[in-house]
Amino acid sequence: MKRRELVAGVASAGVLGGGAAVVWRGLRSPIGGSSDRPEADAETDSSEDAEDGAIELETIEAPGSDAGTISIPTDGVALVVFFSPVCHRCRSLMPNLVDAQAQLAETYGNDEDDALTVVSVAAHQTEEQLRDWWIEHDGNWTLAYDGDRRLANEYGVASHPVLLALDDSGTVRWEDEGVLETERIVRNVERVLEAVGEESGDGTEQEEKAANETDGDD
């Protein structure tokens, strides 16, 4: 069973509801706030555990994003960007993030079966508000909704914007926050992809793909 399932056709209206979700067991470092969370979180979530232990979020129909669901972690590396449409720093980050995603997609892809999935995650907004913001700021990858903040709470996210690079076990391989430069995002995500590729034995394949694309540009 794939961890990432974009199921087209899920309709949403008004304020989006949280998708079925579970806590991925393991230690998470708090980002932008305290690690203190209600101990009841794990008990509350356990009744909706997915078979593979992932957190399932609703996805929104928008440029680069299909309506449906996505499970975090994915089968590869996931760059998860926590943001809020009312956050000034999130607006300032978007041009650099758009450029970084485009550069990474050229080498690593951004489809269901590719090595990298980029997903931006928001809460407490309507589908229409998120879609309008997404269009205004040129988003072009998966847009997801964490209405009950289960994913944010699991990773201790208490501010915006926060970027996490997760491997397929849900382990944080890189984390940062604020208005990051394009080069910084690309460099760190590539390091994670290379490390994960080497660990899984796929590093050579990724290097050959990147080399072939570079040769094609000559």
Question: Residue 2 — very low, low, confident or very high, per pLDDT cuts 50/70/90?
Answer: very low
Report if pTM > 0.85.
no
For residue range 38-53, what is the model confidence (pLDDT) as tens digits? 333 333 333 244 555 7
> Structural domain boundaries of the chain?
40-216
Tell me the CATH class for 40-216: alpha beta
Residue type for position 26: G
